[in-house]
Amino acid sequence: MNLPATHPSTNSATNPATAHQPDPRRLLGAFIRAHRERLPPPAKAFGRRRTPGLRREELADAAGVSATWITWLEQGREVAASAAALARLADALRLTSAERASMFDLAQKRDPAPAKSQAGLPGDLLALPSLFTGPAYLLDRTWTVRAWNPAAARLFSGWLDDEAGDRNLMRFVFLAPLAQALIADWPERSRRLVAEFRADFSRCPHEPAMLELIDDLSANSPLFSRCWKEQAVLHREGGERTFKHPADGMLRFLQTTLLVASQQECKLVCLAPM
């Protein structure tokens, strides 16, 4: 007896290619529930508790939201969740900075909380540029250099040498005449730099130091002002960089930019001679 040929189902419920794809809403719900259950009950809690941690009603009260909203979130249901409400929920759950970032990633929202000050970067982070023989420097979120090695100081005269005053990369590139002479393809590199800087600005658009920097550059650099108004955005990319050094002549490097896991607003920029 001949049986009809069978074919793999294309239904998403049975298709192996899609059956095991995680649902972001369910991942977020499991995250919230796990962190709710790890919290100790309120000091004045009464009555028998069948589950560990806070009750949904207690978490809702602490976050200033409804218990139904918490329930639907934990169940992975499609429910509106604003960034402000999620921020209150993160505070009520007493999340660490890493846990908070993870929750906002799962919710596909941006944390409205202002970025923490980088005034005191750890010593091991500041020591990173010294581990490289080629020019290397560490930038904070406003693209102000926080540490650099001797090779970088020699290459970037007027910015990282002893005579330099302002250590901000954007101010050096757009306001210092030495930068135009040093960077071989200055017009093109400066335009790309603005687009890369805008990507970082978009992550903290209310940062006072960032806004002050943009106002200063817009007022004093016509090129920056024009490029900023274009709204171009680029990821920071590596590649070949050429410099016309006043003492060492033409220099070519391969630039790589690394993000620091523990301080994700910091960038370690390394230049390897070519």
pLDDT, residue 15, reads 57
Q: How far apart are CA 16 and CA 22, in angstroms?
A: 13
Q: How far apart are CA 224 and CA 272, in angstroms?
A: 28
Q: How far apart are CA 45 and CA 59, in angstroms?
A: 13
Region of 6 (left: φ > 0; alpha: ψ -120 to 50; beta: rest) is: beta
Asked if residues 271 and 134 have their Cβ atoms less than 8 Å apart, the reply is yes
The mean pLDDT value for 215-220 works out to: 96
pLDDT tens for residues 176-201?
999 999 999 999 999 999 999 998 88
User: What mean pLDDT is reported for the chain?
Assistant: 85
Percentage above 70 pLDDT, the chain: 88
Rounded to whole angstroms, what are the CA distances from 116 to 108, 177, 220, 268?
21, 33, 29, 19
Tokens of residue 15, six digits: 């298709």
pLDDT, residue 12, reads 45
pLDDT tens for residues 81-96?
888 899 999 999 998 8
pLDDT, residue 101, reads 81
pLDDT, residue 16, reads 54
Report which of residues 21 and 74 the model is more confident about.
74
Asked if residues 153 and 160 have their Cβ atoms less than 8 Å apart, the reply is yes
Name the pairing type of β-strands 249-259 and 267-273. Answer: antiparallel
Q: How far apart are CA 245 and CA 81, in angstroms?
A: 53
pLDDT, residue 20, reads 63
Give SS3 for 37. helix
Query: Cβ–Cβ contacts within 10 Å for residue 265, how many?
Result: 17
Name the pairing type of β-strands 136-139 and 145-148. Answer: antiparallel
pLDDT, residue 5, reads 44
Strand partners, 271: 255
Q: How far apart are CA 211 and CA 228, in angstroms?
A: 12
pLDDT higher than 80, residue 57 = yes
Closest CA to 81 of 25, 161, 33: 25
Q: How far apart are CA 58 and CA 268, in angstroms?
A: 44
Structural fold of domain 21-107: 434 Repressor (Amino-terminal Domain) (1.10.260)
pLDDT tens for residues 235-265?
888 899 999 999 999 999 999 999 888 777 8
Asked if residues 129 and 268 have their Cβ atoms less than 8 Å apart, the reply is yes
Weakest-pLDDT range from 38-42, 56-60, 219-223: 38-42
pLDDT, residue 10, reads 45
pLDDT higher than 50, residue 2 = no
Q: How far apart are CA 138 and CA 121, in angstroms?
A: 11
pLDDT higher than 80, residue 18 = no
pLDDT tens for residues 101-123?
888 888 888 887 765 555 567 88
Task: Name which CATH class applies to 123-273.
Answer: alpha beta
Query: Cβ–Cβ contacts within 10 Å for residue 178, how many?
Result: 14
- Residue ranges per domain, the chain? 21-107, 123-273
pLDDT, residue 193, reads 94
Q: How far apart are CA 274 and CA 253, in angstroms?
A: 5
Q: What phi and psi, each to the nearest 5 degrees, are found at residue 148?
A: -160, 165
pLDDT, residue 150, reads 96
